[in-house]
Structure 1
């Protein structure tokens, strides 16, 4: 038994990351339970398990007292001193009470408890590993799906992709490899439960960090992301280095970097704009590809009125208001869009002004 058990402990420690001490504690706890149950004993006992030689010893722990009321838990001072003359009232005496056939009974009874403790330890290891991966992306393999979730294998654990976090333009089949964003890791009685997303703005941010070296090394920063998954997204970027074009860095040579992200997101259109601490410039950039004539800012209400050429009004608003809605999410400013002619009628635009233009890039599968 000793060699097999010792080998098993070493394998568990090496392959599953569970320390030998945790398993030994579980075995000793199980042996105490087995002893009390199988030998109908209620005394306070300690089990000593030596994995090196496979020896198991059971010791009854008794308090040294003047008068014994329960011999299973107490021992008189006189009897204790027969064991060792230094014992006195208040000490604890340990007497070996190991039954002859305890090894066989203990192995049978403790197996289930030890297995459970090992399983709990494994779950703890998995939880510790994945809690550090929150707000990160991983590659998973689709296993199956039901009305509520798609189940995605992340190796040691199966993650849940809720219906609300699935992209509307995607269809998932078993064995498909997909990148998912880990939104939440929970500890439950059945083990760690991991929730993932394909629609979270963090997925887009992490994909850019993977594809754009300048973002990974901090030369270019992603300041904000606004996303309507499966349809269109806007991302604002910035660099303190005047020699670095943050928008061009994200686009990559011939659009290769952003094209890989578009492919990963099944054709989702991505607008890349330059971030600015000037709300006039930032809002104008965020409304691209529409041209902007003028931006009026209300600092107190954090609201802007944006004037665009008449022929670009529908472009600025976007289909079902999408362009304006994403620009407002991206900048965190309220945006009210007016045409040039309406602005003149209301006195917001007194004279002809040139459009405010900035570096902008929109990418989708239809662009070359």
Structure 2
């Protein structure tokens, strides 16, 4: 059998895994192989000997009191009475463990095949765990890969970093069409383990996180945290609003994000199929934030009541506040977290209530 130290180093280097983690999995493989060969009714321990560079394998039996009920239980092979233990080792004490050295290699080809199978299994699990940890920490980051397949449900499968991710139809901007071989950008939405213990990576082009990631890639001030994205709301492919602030009064968050002649924000808009992006300066004052979010409409006043923002507005500004198909008021609500009610200034109470109802209908699409 090949030297175990060589196997450990080879696996660690080939798979890019920490050598100590590989050692632990190799020890687990030895224990599982021992259970196959000697029986799983016993307890086993594997130790990596740094001097000999070998795995030392032991069968362990716990010393218990003479009247311990476990001596007659289903797992009786794992225990030995203190009376019998004293016959083997006069210095034995209750709670100690008697260890018997085992030699898997003495079983020849049978052991080698069993060990190889266990090694492959546990190293593969370790590799998957590391991949899971890596990409879980990258949720919200952009990936760039090639389309390899589109199934009958229009789920798009994209390969990157030798992995295959999937993008459901709902995560694709409306009217987008992809072809096999096309390079596509998306953001990692979630990483999870399915029922078959396979790692699944779901990516998306519709989440606000994708817009944020694109802005970070296009705007150096956002990348270096000089400009901060405070909130973001999207109706994918149509319109978005993003609230920005800066860490210094010398930095214009809106100008930095838009760029000279709109070059930066236009590049992001192009990636999002022409999505119109409104850059808004963030304010910690709710009334001011709501008034900025409802732009381009000009309002008269805002009153905050619990989770509702009541906006008084002139009739000619109402359509701008609501926007086509209610998009503007919906985005303003999503961006600020407030339910928005519009009240036209100078009308009767009945008409005011009607106006407020219309705005809510626009907001919730009723």
TM-score of the superposition, structure 2-length normalised? Answer: 0.76
Aligned to 1:179: 185
Structural RMSD (CA): 3.6
Are the structure 2 counterparts of residues 221 and 14 from structure 1 closer, same or farther at C-alpha, using a change threshold of 3 Å? Answer: same
Aligned position for 2:171: 165
* Secondary structure at the counterpart of residue 218 of structure 1: coil
In 2, the alpha carbon distance for the partners of 1:246 and 1:71 equals: 71
Change (3 A) 1:305 1:104: same
Aligned length: 334
Q: Which has the larger radius of gyration?
A: 1
Name 2:2's counterpart in structure 1: 2
What SS is found at the alignment partner of 1:172?
A: coil
Residue 80 (str. 1) matches residue 79 (str. 2): no
User: Using the alignment, how far apart are the partners of 2:244 and 2:235 within structure 1?
Assistant: 18
Q: Is the contact between residue 223 and residue 238 of structure 1 (CA under 8 Å) also seen in structure 2?
A: yes
1:180-239: CA deviation from partner (whole Å, max 9, x where unpaired): 222222234523322222111111112212222222233322222111001111112223
Q: Is the 8 A contact 1:303 1:333 kept in 2?
A: yes
Partner of 1:295: 301
Partner SS for 2:108: helix
State whether residues 228 and 246 of structure 2, in contact with CA within 8 Å, keep that contact through their aligned partners in structure 1. yes
Q: Tell me which residue corresponds to 1:365.
A: none
The one of 145, 153, 164 equivalent to 2:150 is 145
2:208 to 201, 209, 221: 201
Deviation at 1:128, TM superposition (A): 1.2
Of stretches 176-185 and 63-72 in structure 1, the one that deviates more from structure 2 is: 63-72
Structure 2 unpaired stretches of 5+: 350-366
Query: Over residues 155-199 of structure 1, what are the superposed CA-to-partner deviations in whole Å (9 max), with x where a residue is unaligned?
Result: 243223222222113112223222222222223452332222211
Alpha-carbon offset, residue 252 of structure 1: 0.7
Quote how far apart the aligned CAs of 1:324 are: 1.9
Name structure 1 gaps, 5 residues minimum: 348-368
Q: Deviations over 1:295-318 (max 9, x none)?
A: 2424446322242462x5433322
1:243 aligns with one of 245, 250, 258:
250
* 1:19-71: CA deviation from partner (whole Å, max 9, x where unpaired): 3312321331233034226xxx9666656776987867765556789999999
Specify whether residues 22 and 317 from structure 1 end up closer, same or farther in structure 2 by C-alpha distance, changes over 3 A only. Answer: same
Q: Quote the Cα distance in structure 2 between the aligned partners of 1:234 and 1:170.
A: 21
Q: Distance in 2 between matches of 1:257 and 1:249?
A: 8
Mapped to 2, the partners of 1:208 and 1:24 lie a distance apart of 45
SS of equivalent to 1:171: coil
TM-score (norm 1): 0.76
CA contact 1:306–1:335 (8 Å) conserved in 2: no
CA contact (8 A) 1:126 1:156 kept: no
Q: Could you say what secondary structure the match of 1:344 adopts?
A: coil
Answering whether residue 332 of structure 2 is matched by residue 332 of structure 1, we say no
SS at match of 2:340: strand
